C-alpha cells in the first residue's frame, strides 16, 4: 500500500484538536529517520491548523547521553537549533528541550569511576541511566505541570516483532492512544506505527524538511537504510538501542560499531581513536573470545561492589588505563578542531572522588591528565575562582553580621562537599552540628 501522507496528517490534526487541547504533547526526537518523519508530519499538520486553534503545547525532547556519536550529535544539535527557530517563525506552540543524564549516572563515572564493566546484553546498565532516567524525569515534570501528557513516538510495528507485540499489548480499544506501560497519566501516540522502513525513506526524500534540514544528510549518516533508530527510550525492552546509527559511540552491546566504521571509511578518519577505545572495551567483556575465562579475571576484581564473591568491577589499574586511553583519544581528536569533548571536567572530578570512596589512592586524575596533555588539570582552579567570587558576594550581602556569613559559608561548603560525593549521606547530621556550633554563645567567628 502506498503511503498516504495526507491521511497521516489528517489523523494528526484530528488528534491535536481532540477535546482537551491543554494536555501537552511530548515528541521524542532523536534525529533519526523515524522521529524526523514523525516531527515533519506533525509540523505539516500544524500548518493546516488555524492559528487560533493551535493551543496544545508541544515539547520536542531529545536526549544527549554525553557519549553520542560525535557526527550524529553535531547533526542533531544543528537540527534542534533549526527546529526551534523554525517553530518560532511559524508561531507554533513548540518548545525544544535537551535532556542529559545526572552526573552520578554518567557513563564514565560508572565505568571508570566505579569500575562497572562495559555493557553487554546481559548487563545493560547504561540504558536506564543514560536514556530512560533523563527522559522520564522530563516527562514527569511535564505531567506535574499539566496533570497529564501524551507522548508521541516514531516507533513502528515493522521495526521488530517484539516492538509490535508490546505496542499492541497497551492499546486502548477505540482509541489511537495507548497507556504508557509505567508512567501514570501518560499516554502514547504512535502516528507512524503502520509505516514500513521503505515508506519512511520515500517520505523523507519526497517531503522537504520544514525547518530547513537536508534529509539527504540522513542517508549519509545511516550509510545504508537498513539499520535501526534509537528512538526516545522509555523502557529497557526497546530492542534497537545499541544496534542503531544513533546509539552511543561507546556501545559494546554490539560487537562492531558499523556506524563509526562507515564514517571512517568515508573520510572521518579522526574518529579512529574512538573505535579503538570502543573495541578495547568490547574486548574486556567479549564472552566469545577464546581466552575469555583468563581475560575476565585479568580485567575484573574477584569481589563485587557489594562485597559478595563473584566477578566484580574493573581492577583500579584498568580504570586508570581506560581513563588514560580516553584522554589520549580526546587529545587526538583535538577538541578545538572538532568541537567534541569526550568527557567533561565535572566527570573527571567526580571520577577522582569515586576512586577515593573506593579506597583507590594510588592513582590521581590530575596526574593522568597532566601525563596526557602536559598541562595542569585546570578545573580545580576554575572552581576555586568561582567559589571566591561567590564568597565575596555572600560576604557583602551579610554585612554587618559576620556571624551570618560564617555560618552560611560553612553550610554551603558542607553541602557542596556532599554533592560532589554524589549523595547526601550524613549531610543532615553535619548541618545540625554546624547549627549547634553556631548557637554556642562562646564561639567566635573570624573571616
> What is the spatial distance between Cα 81 and Cα 432, in angstroms, rounded to a whole number?
46
CA atoms within 13 A on the CB side of 328: 12
- To ligand SF4, the closest distance from the beta carbon of 179 in angstroms equals 25
**Set of cell numbers at residue 260:** 563509526
CB of 248 to ligand SF4, least distance (A): 3
Least distance in angstroms from the C-beta of 118 to ligand SF4:
9
Identify which of residues 153 and 241 has a Cβ nearer to ligand SF4 in the complex. 241
Q: Please report how close the Cβ of residue 252 comes to ligand SF4 at its closest, in angstroms.
A: 7
For the bound state, the minimum distance from the C-beta of residue 79 to ligand SF4, rounded and expressed in Å, comes to 19
Closer residue to ligand SF4 in complex, CB, 259/406 = 259
Phi, psi of 29 (to 5 degrees): -120, 125
All cell numbers assigned to 118? 562495559
CB atoms near residue 383 (< 10 Å)? 15
Task: Please report how close the Cβ of residue 281 comes to ligand SF4 at its closest, in angstroms.
Answer: 10
Which CB sits closer to ligand SF4, 24 or 247?
A: 247
Looking at beta carbons only, is 64 or 344 nearer to ligand SF4? 64
Q: Which residues contact 276 (CB under 8 A, 6 or more apart)?
A: 325, 329
Minimum CB distance to ligand SF4 smaller for 148 or for 279: 279
Contacts with 142 (C-beta within 8 Å, 6 or more apart), sequence order: 24, 26, 59, 149
The verdict on whether omega for the bond into residue 400 sits within 30 degrees of 0, i.e. cis, is yes
| CA-CA-CA-CA torsion sign (194, 198, 204, 207) | negative
Q: 23 vs 66, which CB is nearer to ligand SF4?
A: 66
Residues engaged in binding ligand SF4 (CB under 6 A): 65, 119, 124, 126-127, 130-131, 241-242, 247-248, 250-251, 253
State how far the alpha carbon of 305 is from the alpha carbons of 89, 105, 216, 300, 447, in Å: 53, 16, 47, 11, 42
CB of 318 to ligand SF4, least distance (A): 18
Nearest residue (CB) to ligand SF4, 101 versus 273:
101
Amino acid at each position: 500500500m502506498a503511503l498516504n501522507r495526507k491521511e497521516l496528517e489528517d489523523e494528526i490534526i484530528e488528534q491535536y484538536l481532540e477535546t482537551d487541547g491543554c494536555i501537552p504533547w511530548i515528541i521524542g526526537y532523536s534525529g533519526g529517520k523515524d522521529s524526523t518523519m514523525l516531527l515533519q508530519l506533525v509540523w505539516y499538520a500544524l500548518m493546516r491548523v488555524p492559528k487560533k486553534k493551535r493551543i496544545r503545547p508541544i515539547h520536542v525532547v531529545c536526549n544527549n547521553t554525553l557519549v553520542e556519536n560525535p557526527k550524529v550529535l553535531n547533526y542533531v544539535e544543528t537540527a534542534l537549533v533549526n527546529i526551534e527557530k523554525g517553530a518560532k517563525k511559524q508561531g507554533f506552540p513548540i518548545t525544544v528541550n535537551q535532556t542529559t543524564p545526572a552526573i552520578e549516572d554518567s557513563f564514565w563515572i560508572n565505568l571508570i569511576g566505579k569500575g562497572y564493566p562495559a555493557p553487554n546484553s546481559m548487563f545493560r546498565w547504561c540504558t536506564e541511566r543514560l536514556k530512560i532516567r533523563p527522559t522520564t524525569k522530563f516527562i514527569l515534570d511535564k505531567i506535574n505541570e499539566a496533570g497529564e501528557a501524551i507522548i508521541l513516538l516514531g516507533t513502528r510495528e515493522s521495526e521488530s516483532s517484539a516492538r509490535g507485540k508490546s505496542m499492541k499489548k497497551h492499546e486502548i480499544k477505540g482509541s489511537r492512544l495507548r497507556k504508557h506501560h509505567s508512567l501514570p497519566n501518560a499516554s502514547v501516540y504512535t502516528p507512524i506505527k503502520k509505516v514500513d522502513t521503505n515508506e519512511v525513506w520515500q517520505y523523507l526524500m519526497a517531503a522537504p524538511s520544514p525547518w530547513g534540514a537536508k534529509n539527504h544528510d540522513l542517508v549519509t549518516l545511516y550509510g545504508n537504510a537498513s539499520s535501526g533508530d534509537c528512538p526516545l527510550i522509555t523502557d529497557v525492552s526497546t530492542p534497537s538501542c545499541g544496534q542503531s546509527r544513533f546509539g552511543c559511540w561507546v556501545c559494546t552491546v554490539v560487537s562492531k560499531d558499523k556506524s563509526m566504521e562507515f564514517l571512517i571509511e568515508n573520510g572521518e578518519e579522526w574518529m579512529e581513536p574512538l573505535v579503538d577505545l570502543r573495541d578495547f572495551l568490547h574486548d574486556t567483556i567479549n564472552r566469545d573470545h577464546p581466552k575469555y575465562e583468563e581475560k575476565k579475571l585479568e580485567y575484573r576484581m574477584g569481589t563485587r561492589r557489594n562485597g559478595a564473591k563473584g566477578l566484580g568491577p574493573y581492577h583500579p589499574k584498568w580504570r586508570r588505563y581506560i581513563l588514560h586511553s580516553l584522554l589520549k583519544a580526546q587529545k587526538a581528536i583535538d577538541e578545538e578542531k572538532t568541537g567534541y569533548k569526550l568527557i567533561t571536567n565535572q566527570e573527571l572530578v567526580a571520577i577522582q572522588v569515586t576512586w577515593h570512596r573506593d579506597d583507590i589512592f594510588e592513582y590521581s586524575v590530575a596526574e593522568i591528565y597532566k601525563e596526557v596533555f602536559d598541562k595542569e588539570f585546570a578545573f580545580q582552579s576554575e572552581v576555586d575562582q568561582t567559589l571566591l567570587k561567590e564568597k565575596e558576594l555572600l560576604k557583602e550581602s551579610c554585612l554587618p553580621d559576620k556571624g551570618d556569613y560564617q555560618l552560611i559559608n560553612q553550610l554551603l561548603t558542607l553541602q557542596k562537599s556532599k554533592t560532589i560525593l554524589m549523595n547526601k549521606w550524613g549531610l543532615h547530621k553535619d548541618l545540625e552540628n554546624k547549627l549547634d556550633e553556631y548557637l554556642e554563645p562562646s564561639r567566635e567567628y573570624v573571616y
